[in-house]
């Protein structure tokens, strides 16, 4: 099967039509959401939503025009605080920048809902910033050592 790369700006027009009908599927690209979502391996199911919660993965558009899939790790006043699962740098996002919320993801042909209790527990543990840094550091060290 031939893989065709489409600029996100062009792809979003198609996603918007699908979202108006209920939901859309999007392949994950990049590594910022690893280990939860891995680029080139996983798919996400997106739905439009007006309410966002700590732990949700959202698709939003930066002021630069870049589309990003990151997790909400907190809220301050009228803004959402987001961060990729593989990152430690936080980013503020206005609710108006959010295009959709991830409601499920597909790995190895199996769809998993993001409201499943085991997944929610994983998310709560992963969002503890010191734990995340330690796990990522250890993982990178083991990979460099060839383990």
pLDDT digits (tens, 9 = 90+) for 5-64: 767 777 778 888 888 898 999 999 899 998 899 998 999 999 998 888 999 999 999 999
Domain that holds residue 132: 8-144
Number of domains composing the chain:
1
Q: State how far the Cα of 15 lies from the Cα of 20, in Å rounded to an integer.
A: 9
Q: Which of 50-54, 70-74, 112-116, 130-134 has the lowest mean pLDDT?
A: 130-134
Q: State how far the Cα of 21 lies from the Cα of 46, in Å rounded to an integer.
A: 11
Residue 61 forms part of a structural domain: yes
Residue 23 forms part of a structural domain: yes
Task: Name the E strands within the chain.
Answer: 24-27, 43-47, 57-61, 67-76, 79-83, 91-93, 98-107, 110-113
The DSSP secondary structure of 103-134, one letter per residue, reads EEEEETTEEEETT-HHHHHHHHHHT-HHHHHH
What is the model's pLDDT at position 3?
56
| Residue 138 pLDDT exceeds 90 | no
Beta-carbon contacts of 133 under 8 Å, excluding residues fewer than 6 positions away, are 88
What is the model's pLDDT at position 81?
95
Which CATH number is 118's domain given?
Answer: 2.10.109.10
Chain segment 68-86, per-residue pLDDT in tens: 999 999 999 889 999 998 8
Residue 3 forms part of a structural domain: no
What is this structure's pTM? 0.83
Helices vs strands, H then E, count in the chain: 3, 8
Q: State how far the Cα of 102 lies from the Cα of 86, in Å rounded to an integer.
A: 17
Q: Which of 49-63, 105-119, 132-146 has the lowest mean pLDDT?
A: 132-146
Q: Which residue(s) pair with 106 in the sheet?
A: 43, 111
């Amino acid at each position: 099967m031939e893989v065709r790369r489409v600029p996100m700006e062009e792809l979003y027009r198609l996603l918007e039509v699908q979202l108006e009908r209920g939901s859309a599927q999007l392949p994950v690209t990049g590594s910022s959401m690893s280990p939860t979502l891995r680029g080139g391996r996983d798919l996400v199911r997106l739905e439009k939503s007006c309410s966002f919660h700590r732990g949700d993965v959202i698709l939003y558009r930066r002021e630069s025009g870049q589309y990003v899939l990151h997790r909400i790790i907190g809220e301050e006043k009228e803004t959402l605080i987001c961060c990729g699962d593989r990152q430690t740098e936080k980013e503020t996002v206005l609710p108006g920048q959010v295009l959709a919320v991830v409601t499920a993801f597909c790995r190895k042909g199996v769809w998993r809902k993001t409201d499943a209790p085991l997944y929610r527990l994983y998310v709560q543990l992963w969002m503890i910033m010191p734990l995340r840094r330690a796990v990522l550091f250890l993982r990178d060290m083991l990979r460099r050592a060839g383990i």
